[in-house]
Structure 1
């Protein structure tokens, strides 16, 4: 039996795929997820059933300090992949306390257990949102991240500072991963790839913000999983032992072209309703992934022309008439 790996947010989009890949490599995986209702919990259960049905996933919230400690004591993980978080930029404008509870309080709870239980390596999710108003494409890990455009982004930047502090004070080896617009089958229904795919399939209008003048670094789930596990296998050795990497496709796509690929895959035109810029959003994201490539060979290879049709096909199959 291999040493246990704990994956938080295991029923989430990235988490379930990470669990599947770890199990495929013969790893001993235990997951946790609170199955909250930010989006339909049934999608999370169906995702687990489809992708990682043989993984032991406990229903547990990061705010439950006693429950979390008991799980660490029972499982005795040696490495942790922390993907649980309250996600979403726009939702942070209306429900800020959910972000404080999960992304700040929950992260401290996890850091404390990693410190006291001697975790060999913590890999945790950050976000491209941390670049905020300081962003200059391509976004490099050396750029400032102290001018966030949303509370969500602020909590993710705070996570990086918190992990750095634990690395400096206690020698906790930690790696932060700044994800750039991850998409794929079984993805999050609040994000544009699924929102637009479902709407186009059903003949519903889509809202196109900033009048379509936006560019996003869309990154397919398979490439992200390769990056997560690449980082896991290469813990930092410097002092303090903390590193941050961009995980993106390093090829930003115009929003109108993104929609055109969905239209082609769906076989019907989109009904576009143009809107002004949304508060908290960024006009362009673009990852400089040279640091991740040098450290563990990160080399994303999936274009939207290959990835988006898979999303459309999955939406057609999973949602059917409910699309």
Structure 2
């Protein structure tokens, strides 16, 4: 999958039909509204003008939900022009503003954002376009909104409930965009960081909580996808591989009691359980508090290698002067 996405000219992310949280089967047969394209530049001016001039009747038509939502995102993406976004949002009356931010909240909780396999779609692809209902827009427009939200304190000008929605949207976008930047710079990132960062993503098969991230990781050559292995064995071999790679017990950092599976041994992290913010922060700082920086753990597999090593070292003690 990594090679497919890396070799694609463009990847289109379909986030939903713009009306239902889960796509209705009627979507396959019903006539679709005319396609609308956003460019994140002056070519969008006619869309924004229509957004401002639309009648009350149009606002009530669900088929226009995607258009109005992407208009809001376009307004918020104005680079370095916070006053424009502020004025445009304030120009929308209270009820419509509430409806707009409810549409943004619904977009931010679409199932797509919570699936583990889709991370590669954005992280690796050279060009990413978002499709929502009948509207398409560049992924960079979503990123610009998230970056603007980080730069400006919208909580000073927006009602608290709307600021929270923007914060949620920002986290969803930047979680993937930051990984996209890491991929462009290094063609991969640390597997342990990936496991912790995307632990809240869902997978039909719990083994994919590991396998879906291997294509994005460096130093995972000892982990080969094998769906015949049990989840417990996979999670154990993942922990052992990471310990051998790090040469220490840093991969065991975090709350090891947090488990979805009661059959896992106490020392094995449950990679399907959600790692919280403190776990990730502790992992980032592990080198700072590495008391035995000159020591490394060596992993022996199979166990016979360890027994041979012990025998050899004991022999050296016996023969040493």
Please report the TM-score for the alignment, with normalisation by the length of structure 2: 0.28
- Between structures 1 and 2, the one with greater strand share: 1
Higher Cα Rg, which structure:
2
Please report the TM-score for the alignment, with normalisation by the length of structure 1: 0.28
- Between structures 1 and 2, the one with greater helix share: 2
